[in-house]
Amino acid sequence: MLPLALLLLGALAALWVWGVPLLRQSKLHLPPRVPGFLHQFRPNLPNHLLRLAQAHGPLYRIHFGNQAKLVSLGGKDLSLGNYSPAWKDLKKLTRSALLFGMRNKMEPLVWQLTHQLCEVRGGSPARPPEESTLQDLYDCITELVPLWASPSISILDVFPFLRVRGPPRWGVGGWARRGARPSTWGLHETQAAGVVRDLMDYMLRELREKSGVWDVTEENLHMVLLDLVIGGTETTAATLTWVVLYLLHHPEIHRRLQEELDQELGPGRVSGSDPPASPLPYKDRERLPLLNATISEVLRLRPVVALGLPHRTLKDSSLGGFDIPGDTIVIPNLYGAHHDAAVWDQPFAFRPDRFLNPKSQQPLTFGCGARVCLGEIPARLEIFLILTQLLHRFTFSPVPPSAAAAAAALPSLVPDFGILVKAQPFRVHLLPREGGRRAAA
């Protein structure tokens, strides 16, 4: 009888866990629910969610395990931490560091590093001196991003009890700690010397000079560092890769961009000494409207993070005529919103000119609301400055698949969906320009 009693007790517990919320939800006008909970295991999740939106409407519910999640198609730690006074303080401190502490230092550094990258010596780009800490951190990031997309991590949403145990090296946190500790030690040593060289030094100084003002700990700063480094490395590189790839497919846009740059900056140069500063500061970026429009179009077509950061409703709310219960996870489908035919004309076509109209809708690549990406400004700055130099000094050309091939095949535009929306690996020739024209082969 004991096993039967335990079975009945388990059934009653399940009825309480599942039945009570369902009874409450039955009285609400909820968005339509998509049956099943295996959506997150699909290899092409953003496109799948877009098809669900076309079938069920711009708002619908999916279930991961015992937790309801609301996916929004439309839409007009720091990234995932709960909304609280401490979280607001951390966001304010990070924004202050990005806007006031490092912005003036970042622009000349990005320009100088890009200039060094563009220098051609013996047919190969100049390489910066190797630094083991930087390489270790980069290796850590390249391992982290695929790990987040793996089923071994996704399944934790369906079966949360699996999070309780497991060696640190098995989870994301273990990888992050391995890559971040050496950098954190170095930052502490720098701060002790009273020298503010970077963002973390700025934030540490703020904490120590304004003790009691910020509800933030040094452990919070440790996690912010991970958020910014991981969130700002692979993402920016992926966007730059997509720009190059789309320009290979659209040489007429490539040509127009170079004409715009030649008109504003003079003929493209093959090489030269390190410039003291960018001839076109980021604050004057409106002088290159087509380049800005091209960046916006790539951010629309290939938002690097297809699904925005999840939000959680703090109380019962309503959206689009539906009741949204409190403690619901809301996931904005940025990829779906950027390919919505009700908003965009020819949503799957590469048409940068659509953004030359000042009244055009703008992409939501960096999210929206309280959890909008704080790295938007530095990311846009990097993308703009790097593309300015690359396009001004080089012409992009596809690489033939073999020496015997008569013509080069264009690389695929089909994205590789994971945590990030990345291009499939491809090779490209950077042909130096001379006097505003492509150098003779």
Specify whether the CB–CB gap between 329 and 310 falls below 8 A: yes
- By CB atoms closer than 10 A (0-12, 13-18, 19+), residue 341 is exposed
Q: Name the CA radius of gyration of the chain, rounded.
A: 25
Helix axes 218-249, 172-192, angle to 10 degrees: 110
- What is the predicted pLDDT for the residue at 367? 82
- What is the predicted pLDDT for the residue at 172? 45
Ordered per-residue pLDDT tens for the chain, 441 residues:
434 443 333 333 333 333 334 445 557 777 777 766 545 555 566 666 777 777 767 776 776 555 555 555 544 355 556 667 777 787 888 888 887 656 677 888 888 888 877 875 445 554 555 555 666 766 776 776 666 656 555 555 545 545 554 444 444 444 444 444 545 545 555 555 666 777 777 888 877 777 766 777 777 777 777 777 777 778 899 999 999 999 999 999 999 999 999 999 887 554 454 554 567 888 899 999 999 999 999 999 999 888 877 777 888 888 778 888 887 878 788 888 899 898 899 999 999 999 999 888 889 888 877 778 888 888 999 999 999 999 999 999 998 766 555 566 899 999 988 778 899 999 999 998 875 444 433
* Alpha-carbon distances of 155 from 116, 149, 160, 254, 372, rounded to whole Å: 44, 10, 8, 43, 26
- State yes or no: 373 annotated in a binding site: yes
| Domains, the chain | 29-76+78-123+130-401+408-438 (1.10.630.10)
* Of 421, 282, 253, 255, the residue nearest 353 (C-alpha): 253
Report pTM: 0.75
Distance CA 69, CA 359 (A): 33
* Of 80, 75, 29, 73, the residue nearest 54 (C-alpha): 73
Distance CA 52, CA 30 (A): 16
Helix axes 376-393, 251-265, angle to 10 degrees: 90
State which amino acid sits at residue 13: A
Cα angle vertex 337, ends 336, 338, to 5°? 90
By DSSP bridging, strand 329-332 and strand 67-72 are: parallel
